[in-house]
């Protein structure tokens, strides 16, 4: 049986490193998914600094235009876990690591963060982890 060693072929890139301190919509960098047809995983590392009344929704957007002028939220059917990552008053204080994966048919992806509530103070790191379409496979 062939053993596939995935870590060698994975690429991780920082898509967002933002300190969000107001009610706003914030976007990550744009990820070009050319040659990464095996799906994209997003890893969210979030720290809310005593923001007990904040709501923050992290959704994935997709589009074919390089500037994301045609961006639209990814349908739940294309998400591995089926829903956007959401911070609410119940889970916003402290730090957490969340994940979501997407199988998109579009070329470009980005993260959209919408924050509401008073006392917004969130540090958001978002990493994209991609797997190339073709890569070496070790045979055992």
Query: Residues 13-67: pLDDT tens digits?
Result: 899 998 888 888 999 999 998 877 667 888 888 777 665 677 788 899 999 999 9
Q: What is the pLDDT of residues 111-134, one digit of tens each?
A: 999 988 777 778 888 999 887 654
Sequence ranges of the domains in the chain: 9-130
- The first and second tokens of residue 94, run together, are 């402290």
The neighbour count for residue 98, using CB atoms within 10 Å, is 17
Q: Which of 39, 26, 54 is CA-nearest to residue 130?
A: 39
pTM for this prediction:
0.81
Question: Between vectors from CA 25 to CA 20 and to CA 30, what angle results, nearest 5°?
Answer: 95
Domain at 9-130, CATH from 3.40.50.11610, 3.30.390.50, 2.60.120.330, 2.60.120.380: 2.60.120.380
């Amino acid at each position: 049986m062939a053993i596939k060693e995935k870590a060698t072929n994975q690429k991780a890139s920082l898509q967002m490193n933002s300190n969000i301190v107001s009610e706003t919509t914030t976007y990550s960098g744009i990820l070009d998914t050319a040659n990464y047809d095996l799906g994209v995983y997003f890893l969210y590392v979030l720290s809310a600094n005593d923001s007990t009344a904040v709501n923050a929704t992290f959704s994935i957007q997709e589009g074919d235009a390089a500037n994301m002028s045609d961006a639209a939220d990814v349908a739940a059917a294309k998400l591995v876990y089926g829903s956007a990552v959401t911070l609410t008053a119940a889970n916003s204080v402290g730090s957490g690591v969340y994940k979501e994966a997407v199988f998109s048919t579009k070329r470009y992806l980005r993260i959209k963060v919408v924050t509401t509530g008073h006392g917004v103070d969130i540090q958001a790191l978002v990493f994209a982890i991609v797997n190339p379409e073709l890569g070496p496979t070790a045979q055992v």
